[in-house]
């Protein structure tokens, strides 16, 4: 994984009083996640079932679903064998019938099947009958009723095989696994400030030209707990998502506000790096072409949740249409965000907010003058796609963050965003 945090020397003149470098948080903690993923990045669950009772019987009973879920190469092998074995089986029957009727020994005898004198001819007659080729040399006569019955049975079975193969192929091509590859999530999730609140966010986009009818986003915290006895408990906690119903015509950033009652409310940057959980996100939608309900999902580990980052803009508007630059889909930039938890951040903002207004104060007592300090809030700049920088001033937000850093002595992420 790329290191998304840069080390800055405190003696560097570019570092002011309001920004303190984040010095290799992961190296200081020295913690590495050794547990396996619960949900892989492609959305498949990393679960292995063992000792399932009557497992093969369940696969055979629901043979249609079994064939839809297998790989294409295995499916082609099964379909090829189904045709080849059926031709071979009925070819043996025709050869036995011709042998019993004496067609092999006496060419002048009234044959059951014309031009069937050996096994090769019997196999070709079976193939031509099932595929309805009809070259004109071989054919069925009215001399043997058994041969007529066998031809009738082969025709019925060939219809069943064709229907089964076509149905499986169509279902495999319209499989949800293939469609979900065109609806993707960002490679990482980010935590930043939004309207004065710490928020966890990730991005989702549809890479096709046609779009789904509707969709709903969900997120859960998956946390396994290992006991001393070796027993493992799995806990799920839902994360509330604002505006979870989405029409995904353009890439959308999903937000979860870290507020009281959420699993991440008491978690700071250091706690995030030490913790061991998995953020499982999903998007359930209906495709407008087929009307079929689909779901795509992925997961983020604590190493893939970037604190103090925001997603780069990828939407431009002109007079005719909206332009989406998917090259910026996974790109983020660093911004100024305190490293404290959302709980501590809310408490600091509450302590610094005015408790009473001077209008309702019975008297205005003189307050001691504080030494003047240059409290000019820092400038937050975002690097654009074309390589130029355009400053964006966030005075109120930067002043609050600077106050948090000054009051508590916590580290703050660098103020200059760096594209990742």
pLDDT for the residue numbered 395: 46
Of 272, 221, 258, 241, the closest CA to residue 346 belongs to 258
Q: Mean pLDDT throughout 375-392?
A: 41
Give the separation between CA 384 and CA 394, rounded to whole angstroms.
Answer: 17
Task: Judge whether residue 315 has pLDDT over 60.
Answer: yes
Segment among 8-12, 192-196, 343-347 with least mean pLDDT: 8-12
Least trusted range by pLDDT, from 14-23, 42-51, 118-127, 214-223? 14-23
Contact 310, 192 (CB under 8 A): yes
In contact, 182 and 197? CB cutoff 8 Å: no
Percent of the chain with pLDDT over 70: 72
Bridge partners of residue 155, in order along the sequence = none
The pLDDT score that the predictor gives to residue 179 is 55
User: Which tops the pLDDT comparison, 188 or 46?
Assistant: 188
Q: What is the DSSP string of 264-296?
A: TTT--HHHHHH---EEEEEEEEEETTT--EEEE
CB burial of 269-293 (b: ≥16 within 10 Å; e: otherwise) equals bbebbebebbbbbbbebebeeeeee
72-78 mean pLDDT: 87
* Residue 389 reports pLDDT greater than 70: no
In sign, the C-alpha dihedral spanning 32, 34, 35, 38 is positive
Per-residue pLDDT band for 123 (boundaries 50, 70, 90) equals: very high
How would residue 168 be classed by pLDDT, with cut points 50, 70 and 90?
Answer: confident
Take residue 20 and report the two structure tokens written for it: 């303190």
Q: Pick the range with the lowest mean pLDDT from 220-229, 242-251, 324-333, 384-393.
A: 384-393
Local confidence band at 157 (pLDDT 50, 70, 90 cut-offs): very high
What number of other Cβ atoms are within 10 A of residue 255's Cβ?
A: 17
Cβ–Cβ under 8 Å, residues 101 and 112: yes
- Residue 100's contacts (CB-CB under 8 Å, 6 or more residues apart) are none
Domains in the chain and their CATH numbers? 55-177 (1.10.287.70), 183-350 (2.60.40.1400)
Position 340 pLDDT exceeds 70: yes
pLDDT of 338 strictly over 70: yes
Closest CA to 301 of 4, 96, 34, 69: 34
């Amino acid at each position: 994984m790329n290191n998304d945090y840069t080390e800055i020397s405190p003696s560097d003149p570019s570092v002011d009083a309001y920004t303190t470098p984040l010095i290799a948080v992961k190296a200081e903690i020295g913690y590495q996640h050794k547990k396996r993923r619960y949900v892989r990045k492609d959305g498949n669950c990393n679960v292995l079932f063992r000792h399932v009772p009557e497992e093969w019987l369940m696969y055979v009973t629901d043979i249609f679903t079994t064939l839809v879920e297998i790989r294409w190469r295995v499916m082609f092998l099964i379909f090829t064998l189904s045709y080849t074995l059926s031709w071979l089986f009925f070819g043996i029957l025709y050869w036995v019938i011709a042998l019993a009727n004496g067609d092999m020994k006496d060419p002048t005898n009234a044959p059951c099947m014309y031009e069937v004198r050996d096994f090769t001819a019997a196999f070709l007659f079976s193939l031509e009958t099932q595929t309805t080729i009809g070259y004109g040399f071989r054919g069925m006569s009215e001399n043997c009723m058994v041969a007529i019955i066998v031809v009738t049975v082969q025709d019925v079975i060939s219809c069943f095989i064709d229907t089964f193969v076509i149905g499986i192929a169509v279902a495999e091509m319209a499989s949800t696994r293939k469609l979900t590859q065109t609806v993707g999530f960002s490679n990482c999730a980010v935590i930043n400030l939004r309207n004065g609140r710490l928020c966890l966010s990730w991005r989702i986009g549809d890479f096709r030209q046609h779009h789904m009818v509707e969709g709903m986003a969900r997120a859960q915290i998956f946390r396994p707990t290992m006991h001393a006895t070796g027993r493992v408990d799995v806990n799920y906690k839902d994360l509330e998502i604002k505006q979870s119903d989405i029409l995904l015509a353009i890439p959308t950033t999903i937000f979860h506000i870290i507020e009281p009652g959420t699993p991440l409310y008491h978690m700071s940057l250091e706690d995030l790096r030490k913790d061991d959980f998995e953020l499982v996100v999903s998007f359930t939608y209906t495709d407008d072409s087929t009307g079929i309900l689909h779901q795509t999902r992925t997961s983020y580990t604590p190493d893939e949740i970037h604190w103090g980052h925001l997603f780069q803009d990828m939407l431009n508007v002109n007079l005719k249409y909206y332009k989406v630059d998917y090259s910026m889909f996974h790109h983020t930039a660093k911004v100024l965000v305190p490293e404290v938890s959302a709980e501590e951040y809310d408490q600091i903002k509450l302590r610094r907010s005015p408790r009473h207004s001077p209008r309702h104060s019975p008297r205005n007592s003189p307050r001691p003058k504080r030494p003047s300090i240059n409290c000019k809030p820092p400038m937050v700049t975002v690097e654009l796609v074309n390589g130029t920088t355009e400053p964006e001033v966030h005075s109120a937000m930067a002043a609050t963050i600077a106050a948090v850093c000054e009051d508590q002595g916590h580290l703050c992420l660098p103020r200059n965003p760096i594209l990742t």
